[in-house]
């Protein structure tokens, strides 16, 4: 097997940890990423214990979260981090100057347009290469947050309550955020590097100390034998996620070097290896790359929980849940239910369907995520040509041939009409 080209030991950010990068044989940008997230984890514990709502004002908590987030961005991405700050400030101007009926449209166009230009520049101008992290990752997270907040602000100010669903009403933002609140929401150290995206009202409730209390009030604790509200600790959830993170890191360090993604576009491999063998190797190499993303995203979840953010209430067994915000659910990441009900008439038929759709799902995921791992246009096109664009073709055929599952939509009556119907029913 031909050796894949080594990943370059370079970064757009700090070179302070270059000796460690050289010692471990891991690209410096990835070392910087891990160092920032581990430091963020420690800072999150400190933030919850010493800068909790009972010890510090909301303004202090906002300022600390923002300044540390900015520092992490600069440490990881150097002057390229200016793209994050430019996008944030541009959209803050839009949020304050745009009319409410159009605020979500303008915010989306500017945020997505700037993100697209940055993607084009990194692909066609800078050529970062394979297996690197860069500023476009945090930029995508910020884009999600900007558009999320803009839509929720539009719901809160520009629409009537009866026009919204229950979830939209809960998340609707009634007033424009201050500059400090806006910067803290978008640039806080807990999520600036690897997310996850969260709702603005949930984040503000967390900063102001209302986050956990609001969820606890949804439960009748007297019936459970409590004379006061409990004080749920995120330590268990953090330790569980850190265990997943550690396992993912070990798998990444052991598997990725043995099954390099670059090998799927090696000329000798493409010329001498049959298609089905290449398809099998694609599955193996993609599975080997997954732990890298599981590591990064699960660690980011742990950072938020360590800061006390992410409490979602109590499950049916009475256990505290810390999954209000999450980058992923590893166990539920593949869902196959569009045609499943046709194959439940017998156990053998169900088993055959489950096996077949599992294989197809895995191969489809591998085929789809390969460009996100390679992070370059030329290798991606070369890879898809070697695969004969088969999944693109199959996807089009599926859209054309498979039945569309019917969806139920609840029709919301205007409030005055609902009141009239209520009065009529009483008259009867």
Joined tokens for residue 215: 């969820």
Collapsing DSSP to helix, strand or coil, 339 comes out as coil
Q: Which residues of 202-215 are buried (b: 16+ CB within 10 A; e: fewer)?
A: bbbbbbeeebbeeb
Inter-residue long-range contacts of 323-330, CB under 8 Å, 24+ positions, other chains counted: 324/198, 324/202, 325/196, 325/197, 325/198, 325/202, 325/301, 326/196, 326/301, 327/194, 327/195, 327/196, 327/297, 327/298, 327/300, 327/301, 328/293, 328/294, 328/297, 328/298, 330/244, 330/294, 330/298
CA 235 to chain centre: 22
- Residue of 135, 256, 111 lying closest to 192 (CA atoms): 135
pLDDT of residue 336: 55
CA distance 361 to 367: 10
Residues 136/118, Cβ–Cβ less than 8 Å:
yes
* The residue to which tokens 């598997």 are assigned: 255
pLDDT of residue 11: 63
Cβ neighbours, 10 Å, residue 423 = 10
What would the DSSP string read from start to end of 225-258?
Answer: T-SS-----SHHHHHHHHHHHHHHHHHHHHHHHH
pLDDT in tens, 7-42: 444 567 899 999 999 998 888 988 999 999 999 999
Joined tokens for residue 115: 């993100």
CA distance 173 to 23: 49
Quick one: 219 exposed, middle or buried, by C-beta within 10 A (0-12, 13-18, 19+)? Answer: middle
CA distance 39 to 68: 10
Quick one: 335 exposed, middle or buried, by C-beta within 10 A (0-12, 13-18, 19+)? Answer: exposed
- Residue of 199, 388, 217, 370 lying closest to 288 (CA atoms): 370
pLDDT of residue 418: 44
Enumerate residues 6+ apart whose C-beta is below 8 A from 69: 187, 188, 189, 190, 191, 192
Indicate the length of the chain as a whole number: 428
DSSP state of 178: P
pTM, rounded to two decimals: 0.84
pLDDT of residue 7: 42
pLDDT of residue 347: 85
CA distance 41 to 46: 9
Q: Which residues of the chain have pLDDT under 50?
A: 1-9, 130-131, 408-428
Cβ neighbours, 10 Å, residue 148 = 19
What would the DSSP string read from start to end of 369-382?
Answer: HHHHHH--HHHHHH
Joined tokens for residue 386: 């070697």
Show the CA angle centred on residue 423, arms to residues 419 and 428, nearest 5°: 150
């Amino acid at each position: 097997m031909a050796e894949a080209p080594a990943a370059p030991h370079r970064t757009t950010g700090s070179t302070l940890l270059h000796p460690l990068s050289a010692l471990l044989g891991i690209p410096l940008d990835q070392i910087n990423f891990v160092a920032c997230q581990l430091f963020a984890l420690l800072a999150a514990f400190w933030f919850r214990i010493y800068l909790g709502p009972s010890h510090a004002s909301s303004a202090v908590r906002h300022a600390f979260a923002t300044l540390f987030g900015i520092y992490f961005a600069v440490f990881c991405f150097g002057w390229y981090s200016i793209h994050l700050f430019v996008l944030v400030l541009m959209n803050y101007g839009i949020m304050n100057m745009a009319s409410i009926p159009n605020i979500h449209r303008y915010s989306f166009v500017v945020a997505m347009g700037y993100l697209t230009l940055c993607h084009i520049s990194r692909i066609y101008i800078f050529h970062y290469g394979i297996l690197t992290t860069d500023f476009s990752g945090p930029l995508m997270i910020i884009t999600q947050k900007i558009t999320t907040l803009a839509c929720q602000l539009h719901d809160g100010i520009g629409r009537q309550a009866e026009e919204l669903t229950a979830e939209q009403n809960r998340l609707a933002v009634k007033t424009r955020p201050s500059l400090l609140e806006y910067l803290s929401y978008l640039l806080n150290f807990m999520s600036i590097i690897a997310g996850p995206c969260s709702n603005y009202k949930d984040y503000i409730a967390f900063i102001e100390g209302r986050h956990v209390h609001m969820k606890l009030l949804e439960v009748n604790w007297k019936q459970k034998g409590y004379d006061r509200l409990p004080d749920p600790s995120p330590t268990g959830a953090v330790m569980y996620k850190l265990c997943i993170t550690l396992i993912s890191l070990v798998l990444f360090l052991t598997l990725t070097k043995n099954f390099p993604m670059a090998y799927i576009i090696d000329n000798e491999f493409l010329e001498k290896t049959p298609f089905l063998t290449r398809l099998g190797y694609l599955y193996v190499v993609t599975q080997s790359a997954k732990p890298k993303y599981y590591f990064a995203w699960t660690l980011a979840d742990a950072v938020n929980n360590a800061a006390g953010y992410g409490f979602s209430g109590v499950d049916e067994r009475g256990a505290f849940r810390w999954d209000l915000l999450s980058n992923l659910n590893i166990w539920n990441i593949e869902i196959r239910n569009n045609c499943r009900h046709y194959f439940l008439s017998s156990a053998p038929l169900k088993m055959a369907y489950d096996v077949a759709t599992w294989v197809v799902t895995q191969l489809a995921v591998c085929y789809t995520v390969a460009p996100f791992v390679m992070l370059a246009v030329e290798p991606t096109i070369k890879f898809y040509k070697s695969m004969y664009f088969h999944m693109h073709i199959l996807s089009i055929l599926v859209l054309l041939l498979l039945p569309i599952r019917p969806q139920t939509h609840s029709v919301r009556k205007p409030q005055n009409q609902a009141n009239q119907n209520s009065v009529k029913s009483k008259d009867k």
